[in-house]
């Protein structure tokens, strides 16, 4: 089994540490260091300090591109009001890194759909059993998606609606 590298971008250090601990026990999984700027345990390495003239997103992209995780779990609340600048930048700068959104009960379905439309390869409730995080990392590493069947149905409905709109426009 090939080693899958995983990093976590969650602004809540407690949640991030809990997820890191659950992933570290996984066979074939290697958890990489923190990619967040605002965590209390951010590396003191000078290379990782915010340089003048750069945004937090740019600094995170620099860190992610240095670490080169195959899978990056990103907290959905890491996006700002439905905007996904981190996902857009990752798609451009780190196409080899696959993103899985971390959600919770307060996550809005439309926001999850937007995240998936902006390049996320899946979503997973952060309260899920640790087994599912390991499984999601392996599945996404193989190029598959990780969403619930209910979410897959909604994605398919949206695709069908978009195809109908395109067909009507071409008639």
Spatial separation of the C-alpha atoms in residues 62 and 48, rounded to whole Å: 8
Report the CATH number that the domain containing residue 30 is assigned in CATH: 3.40.50.2300
pLDDT < 50 regions, the chain: 39-50
Domain hosting 10: range is 4-170
Question: CA 18, 103, 86 angle in degrees (round to 5)?
Answer: 95
Which pLDDT tens digit goes with each residue over 36-68?
A: 755 433 333 333 444 556 788 888 899 899 999
pLDDT of amino acid 91:
92
Q: How many domains does the chain have?
A: 1
Which alpha helices (H) appear in the chain, and where do they start and end?
A: 13-24, 56-67, 85-93, 109-117, 130-141, 149-170
């Amino acid at each position: 089994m090939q080693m899958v590298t995983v990093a976590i971008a969650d602004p809540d250090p407690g949640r991030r540490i809990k997820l890191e601990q659950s992933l570290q026990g996984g066979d074939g999984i290697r958890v990489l260091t923190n990619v967040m700027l605002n965590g209390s345990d951010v590396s003191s390495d000078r290379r990782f300090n915010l340089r003048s003239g750069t945004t937090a997103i740019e600094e995170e992209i620099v860190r992610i591109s240095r670490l080169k995780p195959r899978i990056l779990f990103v907290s959905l609340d890491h996006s700002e009001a439905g905007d996904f600048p981190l996902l857009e930048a990752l798609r451009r700068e780190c196409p080899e890194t696959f993103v899985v959104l971390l959600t919770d009960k307060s996550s809005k379905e439309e926001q999850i759909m937007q995240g998936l439309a902006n390049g996320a390869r899946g979503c997973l409730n952060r309260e899920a059993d640790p087994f599912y995080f390991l499984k999601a990392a392996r599945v996404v590493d193989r190029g598959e998606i990780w969403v619930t069947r209910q979410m897959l149905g909604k994605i398919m409905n949206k695709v069908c609606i978009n195809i109908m709109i395109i067909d009507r426009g071409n008639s």
